[in-house]
């Protein structure tokens, strides 16, 4: 295993986080908040430690999927641990466990909160809280790939470990150029949303933090009622952009370069919009009697469907009070999620399409045993490796989900709370139902349950396997062997 490249990547991640922590310092200066010193202290710690770790460049920058998964998982853990320090140091979130929960929820774009009064936080803390969504939405390692050259073409293994979806490919021959294109699209869409919100009379600070939460499909609100107090126009702007950020970014690349046929032939994107349209109509009809009219029903339905399927987690109403049929649709959308290659979470629409077609092909083989049929998407055969990976993902997801629900249930809360709490965290959504509904929070869970849910948030954001590989005995044996070798070399030098 190439330990030197893992060390180097972790150092670069810490230095990058240190530089990013300077932004809430500027917010503190603008709003004259003393809490900015804690962000500056944490930034100094991250930059200093990151520089020490990444001081010596690795002799070989070539690494494989194993190193990519380990580097990615450790990077997200480091990001979260150091990113929570300003909340903890300042006392705005006195408990380290709660501060870590809030930060992991931010970086993984989950949006589940332990805060009972979010408006009590300083502007600096609110900005950093929303900014973690924006960082985690596209992925900090994708950002590093855009600015740090890694030779040998092996940097696609970092992209594979961090990017959501059953398969990851290049938009252009160079992976670094692909990362730059993706971030260019990401930044462009974010700026457009900020401008539109601001032009429609949303305060600039609100527009920036809301757009970062929308772009990362995270959903941390800066108000106690999330988005309910904003105008209908602003709610519709956020609705549209939540849906846009849930689209596979490859589609935007095709549109930018006038490859319209490729953009509109993406079956996953078409399926994604079809699911949204059907869900909005069904829920709007179901809740019409609880609203002020059909337009209000459509507004509430569209916002919550967009928020849940893209795993953003913003809310304009307490949908826990909706009829059972509407809540059932929302729970189903929690698992479906957005498109692969987007900033959204969930299992992904493409995996469901592949699984449904796999079932159909299996049924066909029962009826016509001698017929060989291939599974296709966009008129191209789906590789067997992708089908196998999709099936394994579903099985692993089910096992982890079941184990998490059982672990959380030991605390004694009702089944709906436990089930939707795990569903909301492993799918990176935020709100669930019952005690974790849109007007509630996760603070009532004990520390054990919170760490289970934190693990679920990280596992869901990293598509399960990059995090689970850290628990594999072989990895630990390799680490022990490496440490013994380093100790032996150190003794020989002495």
Tell me which of 177-181, 234-238, 265-269, 410-414 is least confident: 177-181
**176/118: higher pLDDT:** 118
pLDDT value, residue 392? 92
Contacts of 388 (CB under 8 A, 6+ apart): none
pLDDT in tens, 127-178: 999 999 999 888 777 766 666 655 544 556 566 666 655 555 555 546 667 7
CA-closest candidate to residue 157, choices 64, 60, 58, 77 = 64
- Find out whether 9 and 144 touch, Cβ atoms under 8 Å: yes
Phi, psi of 380 (to 5 degrees): -120, 140
E strand or H helix that includes residue 452:
helix 447-461
- Find out whether 158 and 147 touch, Cβ atoms under 8 Å: no
Question: Which of the four pLDDT bands, split at 50, 70 and 90, describes residue 210?
Answer: very high
| Range among 21-30, 136-145, 156-165, 248-257 with highest mean pLDDT value | 21-30
pLDDT in tens, 436-455: 999 899 999 999 999 999 99
Q: Is the pLDDT of residue 227 over 90?
A: yes
- β-pair partners for 377: 380
- β-pair partners for 376: 381
What does the alpha-carbon distance between residue 95 and residue 110 come to, in Å, rounded to a whole number? 20
Q: What percentage of residues in the chain have a pLDDT greater than 90? A: 60
pTM of the model: 0.92
Q: Name the CA dihedral angle for 261, 262, 264, 268, rounded to a multiple of 10 degrees.
A: 160
What does the alpha-carbon distance between residue 93 and residue 21 come to, in Å, rounded to a whole number? 17
């Amino acid at each position: 295993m190439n330990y030197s490249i893992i060390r180097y990547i972790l150092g670069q991640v810490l230095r990058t986080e240190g530089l990013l922590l300077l932004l809430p310092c500027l917010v503190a200066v603008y709003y004259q908040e003393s809490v900015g010193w804690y962000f500056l202290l944490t930034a100094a710690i991250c930059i200093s430690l990151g520089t020490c770790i990444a001081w010596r460049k690795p002799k070989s920058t070539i690494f494989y999927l194993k190193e990519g998964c380990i580097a990615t998982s450790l990077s997200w853990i480091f990001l979260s641990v150091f990113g929570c320090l300003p909340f903890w140091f300042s006392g705005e979130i006195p408990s380290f466990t709660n501060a870590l929960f809030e930060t992991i929820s931010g970086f993984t774009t989950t949006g589940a909160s332990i805060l009972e009064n979010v408006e009590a936080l300083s502007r600096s803390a609110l900005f950093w809280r929303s900014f973690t969504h924006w960082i985690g939405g596209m992925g900090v390692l994708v950002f590093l790939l855009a600015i740090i050259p890694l030779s040998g073409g092996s940097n696609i293994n970092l992209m594979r470990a961090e990017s959501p979806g059953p398969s990851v490919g290049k938009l252009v021959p160079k992976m670094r150029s692909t990362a730059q294109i993706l971030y260019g699209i990401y930044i462009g869409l974010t700026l457009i949303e900020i401008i539109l919100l601001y032009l429609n009379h949303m305060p600039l600070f609100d527009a920036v933090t809301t757009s970062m939460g929308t772009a990362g499909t995270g959903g941390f609100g800066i108000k106690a009622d999330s988005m309910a107090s904003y105008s209908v126009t602003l709610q519709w702007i956020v609705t549209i952009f939540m849906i846009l950020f849930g689209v596979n970014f490859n589609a935007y690349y095709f549109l930018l370069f006038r490859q319209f046929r490729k953009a509109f032939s993406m079956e996953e994107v078409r399926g994604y919009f079809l699911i949204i349209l059907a869900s909005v109509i069904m829920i709007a009809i179901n809740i019409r009697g609880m609203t002020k009219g059909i337009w209000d029903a459509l507004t509430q339905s569209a916002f919550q469907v967009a928020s849940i399927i893209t795993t953003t987690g913003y809310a304009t109403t307490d949908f826990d009070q909706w009829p059972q049929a509407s809540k059932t649709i929302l729970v189903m959308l929690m698992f479906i999620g957005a498109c692969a290659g987007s900033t959204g979470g969930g299992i992904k629409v493409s995996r469901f399409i592949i699984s449904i077609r796999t079932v159909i092909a299996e049924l066909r083989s029962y009826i016509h045993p001698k017929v060989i049929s291939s599974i296709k998407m966009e008129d191209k055969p789906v590789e067997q490796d992708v089908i196998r990976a999709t099936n394994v993902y579903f099985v692993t997801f089910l096992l982890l989900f079941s184990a998490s629900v059982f672990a959380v249930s030991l605390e004694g809360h009702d089944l709906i709370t436990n089930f939707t709490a795990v569903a909301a965290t492993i799918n990176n959504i935020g709100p669930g139902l019952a005690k974790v509904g849109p007007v509630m929070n996760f603070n009532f869970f004990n520390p054990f349950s919170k760490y289970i849910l934190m693990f679920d948030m990280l596992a869901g954001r990293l598509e399960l396997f990059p995090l689970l590989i850290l628990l594999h005995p072989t990895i630990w044996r390799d680490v022990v062997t490496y440490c013994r070798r380093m100790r032996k070399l150190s003794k020989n030098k002495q």
